[in-house]
Amino acid sequence: MASYFIQTWGCQMNVYDSDRIRDLLNAQQDVETDNIKDADIVILVTCAIREKAQDKVFNQLYAWKANKQYKENAIICLGGCVASQEGEACIKRAPMINVVFGPQTIHRLPNMIDEVRNTDAKHVVDVSFPDIEKFDYLPSPKNSGSSAFITIMEGCSNFCTYCVVPYTRGPEVSRQVEDILNEINALTAQGVKEVNLLGQNVNSFKGLYEDGTECNFAELLYLVAAIEGVERIRFTTSNPHDLSDEIIQAFADIPKIADAIHLPVQNGSNNILKRMNRKYTREHYMNIINKLRAVRPNIYISTDFIIGFPGETDEDFADTMDLIEQVKFDQSFSFIYSPRPNTPAATYEDTTTLDVKRARLYKLQAAINNQAQLYSREMLGSIQKILVDGFSVKDKAELRGRTDNNRTVNFVGDPKLIGSFINVRITDVMTHTLRGEIVEE
């Protein structure tokens, strides 16, 4: 029995992986602590998507060491995308690391820790992409809330020229269909009502049934919707290139799919999209948005942007602002381009100054925030279906829930409502949250 501390950076895939690590360690009677000072095992699950995210990991390790934050004999484990990208080299950069494991070897972590504990090995590294899926070796997930993430596929084979993911998480691999459905069934039995289907590119899901026939993402959506107990379905993340008409049809047929989609466009200029190797044009993107809105007039579109990609001109940026105007995005995760080792775009000539990039990002974010506020204000007086997920952060006497378009609504209600869907009328709009009152059925 040991105590472990786990720190997670990065995307939902990492959050999911960390939860699976908890399942693995708890199954062998280890106990989680949120105080690093008490931990026998320190686990970092890291992100490599931008340079800043990557540097943060090593800065953190050295800061902890300098301040003697962890026990002298604690076993330090580095996982996630930085571990995957740097492998052995991590240990040169930070020799206090004992175990380096990758996104596809999390199921081997307990053995790797044992090896450090019980042998002379000071360091153990395994960041391979084994053929045998990690899922076969993971205990079935435990979930305490009403919303859960389920990984349906991993990795990415698209090779956008700026992105590390195909290198850190490996090629696309889809999970077996019955495994996914069994996992969701087990979760709904624990009280889960909202499922978030997870993958780097869920649209290109190609899972096999036990009998060896193939299932695409649209088909999977119908199967998940047919599970009793599933009341709301979300998925992330989608590549516009692979968003088929069948998936759009699923939005028309399945009311359980939330009225929101995260559809990263990255840029509004065809010239930049081409050099990013995104394999679609802005016209194609607009076409998908129009088709989605034809079947779901109230759908909220969120997106990701990369600003200041090498060679981005003022005209290219004007195209991006124009696309924002046309689509009327509800939200975006937007960042300045960060060159990543071994990716093609890292070699592209980049003459735009950081000041210009910052000014563009600022302008873009202002436009999107403005639009998000307009949408929030439009919601005033409307009735929204929310999943009550707990107590309000500011006032523990109140409850909190989430709308289809991912807004938090605070309201007065009986704590018995936690974990269920209810209807609320929006009575007030704040900068980041909404207020509501329960609508009696």
Round to whole Å and give the CA distance between 220 and 73.
47
Q: How many CB atoms lie within 10 A of CB 291?
A: 17
Residue 335 contacts which entry, ligand SF4, ligand 5AD, none (Cβ below 5-8 A, type-dependent) = ligand 5AD
Q: Is the peptide bond before 46 cis (omega within 30 degrees of 0)?
A: no
Q: Which two tokens stand for residue 21?
A: 């690590």
Residue 105 contacts which entry, ligand SF4, ligand 5AD, none (Cβ below 5-8 A, type-dependent) = none
Residues 6+ apart with CB under 8 A from 400: 388, 389, 390, 391, 392, 393, 408, 409, 410, 411
Residues 6+ apart with CB under 8 A from 132: none
One symbol per residue from 72 to 101: x for binding ligand SF4 (CB under 6 A), - otherwise; what is it? --------xx--------------------
Q: Specify the pairing of strand 147-151 against strand 153-154.
A: unpaired
Least CB distance to ligand 5AD at residue 307 (A): 9
By CB under 6 A, residue 398 contacts ligand 5AD: no
Round to whole Å and give the CA distance between 62 and 99.
16
One symbol per residue from 49 to 68: x for binding ligand 5AD (CB under 6 A), - otherwise; what is it? xx------------------
Residues in 128-187 at the binding interface with ligand 5AD, rule: CB under 6 A: 162-163
Closest CA to 386 of 349, 358, 422: 422
How far from the centroid of its chain's Cα atoms is residue 34's Cα? Answer: 23
Least CB distance to ligand 5AD at residue 254 (A): 25
Least CB distance to ligand SF4 at residue 325 (A): 28
Residue 306 contacts which entry, ligand SF4, ligand 5AD, none (Cβ below 5-8 A, type-dependent) = ligand 5AD
Q: How many residues bind ligand SF4 (CB under 6 A)?
A: 13
Q: What is the Rg, in whole angstroms, of the alpha carbon atoms belonging to the chain?
A: 23
| 300-307 sheet: strands from edge to edge | 260-262, 300-307, 331-336
Cβ pair 248, 292 in contact under 8 A: yes
Q: Which residues pair with 196 in a beta bridge?
A: 149, 234
One symbol per residue from 349 to 388: x for binding ligand SF4 (CB under 6 A), - otherwise; what is it? ----------------------------------------
Residues in 36-55 at the binding interface with ligand SF4, rule: CB under 6 A: 47-49
Binding range to ligand 5AD, per CB under 6 A, among 33-41, 208-216, 335-343, 348-356: 335-343
Cβ pair 264, 303 in contact under 8 A: yes
How far from the centroid of its chain's Cα atoms is residue 436's Cα? Answer: 28
Q: Of residues 233, 258, 306, 387, which one binds ligand 5AD by CB under 6 A?
A: 306
Least CB distance to ligand 5AD at residue 380 (A): 31
One symbol per residue from 240 to 279: x for binding ligand 5AD (CB under 6 A), - otherwise; what is it? ------------------------x-x-------------
Residue 168 contacts which entry, ligand SF4, ligand 5AD, none (Cβ below 5-8 A, type-dependent) = ligand SF4
One symbol per residue from 163 to 192: x for binding ligand SF4 (CB under 6 A), - otherwise; what is it? -xx--xx-----------------------
Q: Give helix then strand counts, H and E, for the chain.
A: 13, 21
Q: How many CB atoms lie within 10 A of CB 243?
A: 23
Interface with ligand 5AD (CB under 6 A): 49-50, 162-163, 264, 266, 304, 306, 335, 337-338, 340
